[in-house]
Amino acid sequence: MPESTPGPEMWPFGPFVMIIMAVVIILPFWFIFSKAGYSKWLSLLMVVPVVNIILLYFLAFSDWPSLRSANK
């Protein structure tokens, strides 16, 4: 019966895959937060499980500082 978990030969790639996935998630939000007028560093919170949902709703429904300054 085949195992569902990877064997010991795959363990060294685990951290590498996690770093790649974090970059894939963080990079677009880095630019989104920058264009919205918020700190780019908020994008690092997108890899935190429950905080990312809260932050996504905050980003969707808040008044963006960049748009406030453009309308004045």
Domains of the chain: which residue ranges?
24-56
Give the pLDDT mean for 17-28. Answer: 90
Residue 43 above 90 pLDDT? yes
Alpha-carbon distance of 33 to 27, in angstroms, equals 10
Average pLDDT, the chain: 85
Residue 61 above 90 pLDDT? yes
Residue 59 above 80 pLDDT? yes
**pLDDT tens digit sequence for 8-17:** 666 778 888 8
46: Cβ contacts below 8 Å, ≥ 6 apart: 25, 26, 29, 52, 55, 56
Q: Tokens representing 29?
A: 């939000």
Give the pLDDT mean for 42-46. Answer: 92
Alpha-carbon distance of 46 to 53, in angstroms, equals 8
